[in-house]
Amino acid sequence: MAHPSTVLLVRFKSSLSLEDVLRVANERIDQFRAIPGLLQKYYLQDPESGDVAGLYLWDSPESLREFGTSALRASIPDAYEIEGTPRIEQYQVEVVLRPE
């Protein structure tokens, strides 16, 4: 896998059960695999709070920007029945532990 230059973390509460969140994720996974520049996506859950999150690894800030204007991006709140405002954090990768 190429090394990411940009990381996006999106954390939110969902009115769906974890089982339903995972079902939705699996139904949509091929759409995410097809996104240009998305190197990897991790689907996460905080066992204490019940929050769920997506951790996205991007090849460039431009790829992330293009995703940000896509219909797939716009569909996320409804698909996961997000409650409230998601917490969105974007980072630039500065050092890689295993550069090989």
Question: Is 100 inside a domain boundary?
Answer: no
pLDDT digits (tens, 9 = 90+) for 16-27: 999 999 999 999
Residue 97 lies in a domain: no
What's the CATH code of the domain at 29?
Answer: 3.30.70.100
In the chain, how many domains are there? 1
Cross-strand pairs, 56? 8, 41
At CA 59, angle to CA 54 and CA 50, rounded to 5? 10
Which residue would you say has higher pLDDT here, 100 or 63? Answer: 63
Question: Residue 19: inside a domain, yes or no?
Answer: yes
Side-chain half-sphere CA neighbours of 67 within 13 A: 23
Asked whether residue 99 is domain-assigned, the answer is: no
> What's the domain range around 65?
6-92
pLDDT in tens, 27-48: 999 999 999 999 999 999 999 9
pLDDT value, residue 92 = 98
